[in-house]
Amino acid sequence: MWIISITCEDTTGGDRPGEARRDLLSGMTIERWVPSQTYTRQETAILKSLRRTRKLFAFLRDHRHEIFDDEMQSALEAMYRNTGAGKDPVCPARMAMAALMQGYLGVSDAEAVQLTMVDLRWQMVLDCLGNTEEAFSQGAFQEFRQRLIRHDMDRALLEKTIALARTSEAFDYRKLPKDLRIAIDSSPLEGAGRVEDTVNLLAHAGRKIVDCVADLLSWPRERVCTEAGIPLLAASSVKKALDYTWSDPADKAEAVSVLVSQLASLEAWIRDRLPHELARPPLQEHVETLRQVMAQDLEPDPTRGGDRSDKTTAVCIRQGVAPDRRVSIEDKDMRHGRKSKSKRFNGYKRHLARDLRSGLILACAMTPANRPEEEAADPIEQDLVHLFEGELPVTNLYIDRAYINAPLVDHVLEHGGEIICRPWQARNGELFSKADFKINVRDRTITCPANKTQPFDFGTTIEFEPEDCDRCRLRDQCTDASLGHGRTVSIADNEQLQKRLRRLAHTPAGRARLRERVPVEHALARAGRRQGRRARYRGVRNNLYDWRRASLLTNLEEIQRHLTLAAAAALAATAKPRRCTGLTVLRNAA
């Protein structure tokens, strides 16, 4: 195998030697981006116009050679195979920079590609001023994003911003402590898929099957619907085709049975006509989606002799919501979620971890909306360990109490760290709450307001002796259980931690420490505004890429802000004090 390094012609119109370096590896060429570090007159004029708005373009132009240094470009080039097959890839560092600017402006792939030709700011950052053609195609840009995701290069780019902060003059890392004060928080993200009710979900899943079969057989959709015995899907609206009174429970149940019967006919026809295609994608995936929706949203109708062994007849819509219910056909990862009792949403939860000393976002996570926050702490911990090369130097962890049961909390405590979090509030109406009981964690005993003591184990619910509770003078203030039953109190697995957090929240100094996590909410708001309230992509992993991109852009803006403040402070320190001559003029005039 020959490895040849050659200097190629500058495709951007420049004549600087080494502008585009290519390494020929097994017949495949990868362009190495070597942007100029000198400023042309046109670039100086563009930078001058960016002093007040869209300042990050200027920052990217100034620091592009630091963000995409040789190490980062080598990592980007490693995403490609070296077999020599396929087309030569477009310069990956340049496309990665375009992906950052796409996230900065929040534009589509098509518009991002167009801006490389019509926007001087984009051309300045990409080092292709004067180009009369698009820098790359939309298809190449989309494929590059998927390649970034497959190789976790979005995480590498986020880590690069932290390395940039260390090497720049924005932060004096020699004065910063070596340990970390990390705060974690989350916010909702509406999914990009369409949320539908049961009837439309079933019809949508059925149409995906019909369209797939039509492509496989090269038939029109109407012919597939006719031969498969499902004419309902040939109509533009399945509810219009059913033509039932949806407010009438009997009519609604009848409509669901008709639709399910025709969907069963479609599946039986496919098993007979396309048995081999049914066992492999993409038809297999569409059929499995239909089965998933039927399993989660339908149940036997007992009023019509429904049997669980046969869901093709006598079924009705399930009462209640199935666990982990799928709400969208197009986005399989979207789920129902709640930010509070009154605020519901459909989509995802986005999480981030911020260093409270430097203000930089260190790690991100994305989960379906129905998953508890504690599940996001594990990927965040993995990213932190990867960032700090196998260590977890967290001495103070500021979290919302939804994260309190995460393994990350135990790991921080095991290494001598401290958890700062609001405790769970024990409420019991007007009766005695858990806070009125004395809990001795060391002896594992709990004493009620009437001085009755009971031993306990962590993670259990203890019951006081019924005989003691029946004749207790404080019974009416303690429990509303019937006679013969004692007062019960739940003991958490982390009761020792909860007790310490309760003490923390009851002191002014402790409440002041709890307020130290407020900056993570600000970072969450800034990054969330950058990403938007609604997901750009479908799927957990694709939206994690978008969330990491929004976070690294937030980091770059934070670095730029610190550099601006440092430059202003340096200028003020070196400037000579101006002599005021106003009094002299007035004195001479007098």
Q: Are residues 221 and 115 in the same domain?
A: no
Which whole-number Å values give the CA distances from 252 to 198, 239, 264, 501, in the listed order? 11, 10, 18, 52
- For the chain, the domain total comes to 3
In a domain, residue 209? The reply is yes
Residue 511 CB neighbour total at 10 angstroms: 12
Q: Are residues 147 and 203 in the same domain?
A: no
52, pLDDT greater than 90: no
Nearest to 352 by CA among 104, 547, 542, 157: 547
Can you tell me the distance from the alpha carbon of 346 to that of 190, in angstroms, rounded to the nearest whole number? 6
* pLDDT tier at 515, thresholds 50, 70, 90: very high
Residue 472 CB neighbour total at 10 angstroms: 20
Question: CB of 405 within 8 A of CB of 493?
Answer: yes
User: What pLDDT is stored for residue 426 in this prediction?
Assistant: 80
349, pLDDT greater than 80: yes
Q: Are residues 130 and 213 in the same domain?
A: no
Can you tell me the distance from the alpha carbon of 126 to that of 135, in angstroms, rounded to the nearest whole number? 9
User: What pLDDT is stored for residue 83 in this prediction?
Assistant: 59
Q: Are residues 20 and 107 in the same domain?
A: yes
DSSP code per residue over 440-502: ETTTTEEE-TT--EEE--TT-EEE--HHHHHT-TTHHHH--PPTT---EEE--TTHHHHHHHH
In a domain, residue 385? The reply is no
pLDDT in tens, 243-262: 999 999 889 999 999 999 99
Q: Are residues 141 and 221 in the same domain?
A: no
Q: Are residues 144 and 219 in the same domain?
A: no
Residue after which a domain boundary falls, among 491, 511, 527:
491
Residue after which a domain boundary falls, among 95, 122, 151:
151
Least confident of 25-29, 408-412, 529-533: 25-29
Residue after which a domain boundary falls, among 288, 317, 346:
317
Average pLDDT over residues 425-430: 85
Summary mean pLDDT of the chain: 88
Domain of 309, in residue numbers: 198-317
Q: Are residues 33 and 136 in the same domain?
A: yes
In a domain, residue 168? The reply is no
Can you tell me the distance from the alpha carbon of 54 to that of 256, in angstroms, rounded to the nearest whole number? 54
Q: Are residues 30 and 139 in the same domain?
A: yes
Q: Are residues 131 and 9 in the same domain?
A: yes
In a domain, residue 484? The reply is yes
Residues sharing a CB contact under 8 Å with residue 376, sequence separation 6 or more, in sequence order? 186, 349, 351, 365, 366, 367, 403
Residues sharing a CB contact under 8 Å with residue 190, sequence separation 6 or more, in sequence order? 345, 346, 347, 533, 534, 535
Question: Which residue reads 């049975």 in tokens?
Answer: 257
Local structure of residue 422 (DSSP, 8 states): P
Kind of pairing, strands 394-398 and 418-420?
parallel
User: What pLDDT is stored for residue 522 in this prediction?
Assistant: 96
Is the bond leading into 35 cis (omega within 30 degrees of zero)?
A: no
In a domain, residue 61? The reply is yes
User: What pLDDT is stored for residue 303 in this prediction?
Assistant: 76
Question: Which residue reads 């600087």 in tokens?
Answer: 16
Q: Are residues 78 and 204 in the same domain?
A: no
pLDDT in tens, 357-375: 999 999 999 999 999 999 9
Average pLDDT over residues 460-471: 94
Can you tell me the distance from the alpha carbon of 256 to that of 266, in angstroms, rounded to the nearest whole number? 15
Question: CB of 44 within 8 A of CB of 55?
Answer: no
User: What pLDDT is stored for residue 571 in this prediction?
Assistant: 83
In a domain, residue 204? The reply is yes
The dihedral through the CA atoms of 529, 534, 536, 537 has a sign that is positive
User: What pLDDT is stored for residue 583 in this prediction?
Assistant: 43
Question: CB of 93 within 8 A of CB of 76?
Answer: yes
pLDDT in tens, 400-419: 999 999 999 999 999 999 99
Q: Are residues 213 and 299 in the same domain?
A: yes
Q: Are residues 212 and 138 in the same domain?
A: no
In a domain, residue 328? The reply is no
Question: CB of 154 within 8 A of CB of 549?
Answer: yes
Write out the two tokens for 542: 């694709």
Query: Structure pTM?
Result: 0.88
38, pLDDT greater than 80: yes
Average pLDDT over residues 7-16: 36
Question: Which residue reads 């109509």 in tokens?
Answer: 235
3-state secondary structure 150-212: HCCHHHHHHHHHHHHHHHCCCCCCCCCCCCEEEEEEEEEEECCCCCCCHHHHHHHHHHHHHHH
In a domain, residue 577? The reply is no
